[in-house]
């Protein structure tokens, strides 16, 4: 058996995304930066507890916590000397060594980032594993996050794949493209494909993802009505798009906004509909949304708020979108960005425990022996994450565990970054206080905005517009429970920002 090349990893210095491959990606799928902002990254080995739980030091003067082999010189917050730091007990490692089943037959159903991350992790932990990745799409597994960039013309279709085709051969990952899974049998440990083929497995990982929610509107079947979930969807939109084409995007969430901006960049006349009082109500407050709306207006996107769709009108092709208030918007294209639903049908038919998603525990095991789940369809502690970063993390954990590892998923702060818009906007965790125990600190300027939410001296949420450099430090501070007690005695946004930069 020939030895496959090692999987190199690259980390985006702006947003922290980790890419596996021989070279950095042409475009970061999370924040959109180029390959020049990636650095070589050595991930901690699964059996290296020292890497997974680095030494931690607390400043006795300001309580700043530093991670590293030695205390900092000086303290980046208060300037104290190294002798003012005290070693504190490291957090328990999230991953511990475990026997690896090198001969395991692993089948992964679904080729989104969770599925690819699972294949990467399993191959890295078990060089002898037999790995099969089943994809329902004919394309190579690709960055779904980059579909709006492709739609906008910022990248070509060739830049969509996560890995080139040769990577799968080099890593001995059997990739089945354009294959539909009919069912799987947890007793026989087999996966049945729609063409009649059967795949035996020792371990199975479900990364089936999600599908667009299509509201039951009159005219939903008209020619010119699209969802944007696959590369084929993007191709279909581009084939219909001409300069000044009247387009209506239904839904003012992340996908609707990115799609509207992308179509506007292509020269379309775009109207974006949001039923709430402001855009992205699940991720933004009114102040941050106002910045976003002004920016979209500058791109040529007309935003209609409190606008609810009643029907799509036309003969065989779309002609107009009618709103509940009676307004009729001329349209040749309509894009439904009305949310997604987890793909759970296979799991339900197989008898797995399913709520809204496939129920998993901290090792991402389902109710069936030998079956794991990760990504959009995995429900942990009653929560579906549906974000790229969470799906990648879950896929990595499931991949390691499926070949004998002992990695644990403990949750993930909600984080959303807008792409294909040209505005640095990030929402992490809670974006507004839940009760009197929360502290909101915000600063609103004409060209930027920041808001931080604290509880018990820890940051639990951040809203950032025009502060790209603070996105990753804020995410880390929330994940690590960084103590802000000293600064919160007389809190200001600039002081919080400096603390975040010092902790980056």
Backbone angles phi, psi at 147, to 5 degrees: -60, -40
Q: What angle do CA 392, 427, 491 make, to 5 degrees?
A: 125
Spatial contact of 179 and 138, defined as CB atoms under 8 Å apart: no
Residue 9's alpha-carbon distances to 16, 18, 390, in angstroms, are 12, 7, 18
Per-residue confidence (pLDDT) for residue 90, from 0 to 100: 38
Query: In the structure encoding, which two tokens stand for residue 321, read together?
Result: 């979108």
What DSSP element (H or E) covers 174? Answer: strand 173-176
The pLDDT of residue 82 is 65
CB contact at 8 A, 107 and 79:
no
Strands (E), 327-484: 328-330, 333-336, 340-342, 358-360, 371-373, 378-380, 383-384, 406-407, 415-417, 425-429, 438-445, 448-455, 458-465
Cβ atoms of 216 and 117 closer than 8 Å: no
Can you tell me the distance from the alpha carbon of 79 to that of 467, in angstroms, rounded to the nearest whole number? 25
Strands 246-250 and 269-274: parallel
**In which element (H, E) is residue 65 found?**
strand 65-67
Q: Which helix (H) or strand (E) holds 346?
A: helix 345-349
Contact in structure between 465 and 452 (CB atoms under 8 Å): no
253 preceded by a cis bond (ω within 30 of 0): no
Low-confidence ranges of the chain (pLDDT < 70): 1-7, 13-16, 30-32, 43-102, 419-420
Q: 145, 184 in Cβ contact below 8 A? A: no
- Which tokens belong to 188? 């026989």
Alpha-carbon distance 269 to 263, whole Å?
Answer: 8
Ordered by where they begin, the domains of the chain are: 54-90 (2.20.28.10), 96-211+341-407 (3.50.50.60), 225-338 (3.50.50.60), 424-503 (3.30.390.30)
Instruction: Give dist(CA 419, CA 401) in Å, integer.
Output: 33
- For residues 279 and 335, what is the distance between their CA atoms, to the nearest angstrom? 16
User: What CA–CA distances, in Å, run from 196 to 145, 206, 261, 488?
Assistant: 32, 20, 43, 63
Cross-strand partners of 428: 415, 462
Q: How many alpha carbons lie under 13 Å from residue 472 in its C-beta half-sphere?
A: 15
Query: Are the C-beta atoms of 479 and 449 separated by less than 8 Å?
Result: no
Residue with tokens 């839940």: 434
Q: Tell me: the pLDDT tens digits for 375-416?
A: 999 999 999 998 888 999 999 999 999 999 999 998 877 777
pLDDT in tens, 115-135: 999 999 999 999 999 999 999
Provide the token pair at 116: 């690819």
Residue 147 DSSP label: H
Angstrom distance (rounded) from CA 222 to CA 218: 9
Distances (CA, A) of 193 to 168, 343, 393: 20, 16, 27
Contacts of 310 (CB under 8 A, 6+ apart): 217, 218, 322, 323, 324
Cβ density class 292-319: b for 16+ within 10 Å, e for less: bbebbeebebebbbebebbebbbeeebb
Between CA 168 and CA 115 the distance in angstroms is 13
Cβ neighbours around 196 below 10 Å, total: 7
CA distances from 3 to 7, 169, 174 (A): 12, 11, 16
- Give the span between the Cα atoms of 402 and 202, in whole angstroms: 9
């Amino acid at each position: 058996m020939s030895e496959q090349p090692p999987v190199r990893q690259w980390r985006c210095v702006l947003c922290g995304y980790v890419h596996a491959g021989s070279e950095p990606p042409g475009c970061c799928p999370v924040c959109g930066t180029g390959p020049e902002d990636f650095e070589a990254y050595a991930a901690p080995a699964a059996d290296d507890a020292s890497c997974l739980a680095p030494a931690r030091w607390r400043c006795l003067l300001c309580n700043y916590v530093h991670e590293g082999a030695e205390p900092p010189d000086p303290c980046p917050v208060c300037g104290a000397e190294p002798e003012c730091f005290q070693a504190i007990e490291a957090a328990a490692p999230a991953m511990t060594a475990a026997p690896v089943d090198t001969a395991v037959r692993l089948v992964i159903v679904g080729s989104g980032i969770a599925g690819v991350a699972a294949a990467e992790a399993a191959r890295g932990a078990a060089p002898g594993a037999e790995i099969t990745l089943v994809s329902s799409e004919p394309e190579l597994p690709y960055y779904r996050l980059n579909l709006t960039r492709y739609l906008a013309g910022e990248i070509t279709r060739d830049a969509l794949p996560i890995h080139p085709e040769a990577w799968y051969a080099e890593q001995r990952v059997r990739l089945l493209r354009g294959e539909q899974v009919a069912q799987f049998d947890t007793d026989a440990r087999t996966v049945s494909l729609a063409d009649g083929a059967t795949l035996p497995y020792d371990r199975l990982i479900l990364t089936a993802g999600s599908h667009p929610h299509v509201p039951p509107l009159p005219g939903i079947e008209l020619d010119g009505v699209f969802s944007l979930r696959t590369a084929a969807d993007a191709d279909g939109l581009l084939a219909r798009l001409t300069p000044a084409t009247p387009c209506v995007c239904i839904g003012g969430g992340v996908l609707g906004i990115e799609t509207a901006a992308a179509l506007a960049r292509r020269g379309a006349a775009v109207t974006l509909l949001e039923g709430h009082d402001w855009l992205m109500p699940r991720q933004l407050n009114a102040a941050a949304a106002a910045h976003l709306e002004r920016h979209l207006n500058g791109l040529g996107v007309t935003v209609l708020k409190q606008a609810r769709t009643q029907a799509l009108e036309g003969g065989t092709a779309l002609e107009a979108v009618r709103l509940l208030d009676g307004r009729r918007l001329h349209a040749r294209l309509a894009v439904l960005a009305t949310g997604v639903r987890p793909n759970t049908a296979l799991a339900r038919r197989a008898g797995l425990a399913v709520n809204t998603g496939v129920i998993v525990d901290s090792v991402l095991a389902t109710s069936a022996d030998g079956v794991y789940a990760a990504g959009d369809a995995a429900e942990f502690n009653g929560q579906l994450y549906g974000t790229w970063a969470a799906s990648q993390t879950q896929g990595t954990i499931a991949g390691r565990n499926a070949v004998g590892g002992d990695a644990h998923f403990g949750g993930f702060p909600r984080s959303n970054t807008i792409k294909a818009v040209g505005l640095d906007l990030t929402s992490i965790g809670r974006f507004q206080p839940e009760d009197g125990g929360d502290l909101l600190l915000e600063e609103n300027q004409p060209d930027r905005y920041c808001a931080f939410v604290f509880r018990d001296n820890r940051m639990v949420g951040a809203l950032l517009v025009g502060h790209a450099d603070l996105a990753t430090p804020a995410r880390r501070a929330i994940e690590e429970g960084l103590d802000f007690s000293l600064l919160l005695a007389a809190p200001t946004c600039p002081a919080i920002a400096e603390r975040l930069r010092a902790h980056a």
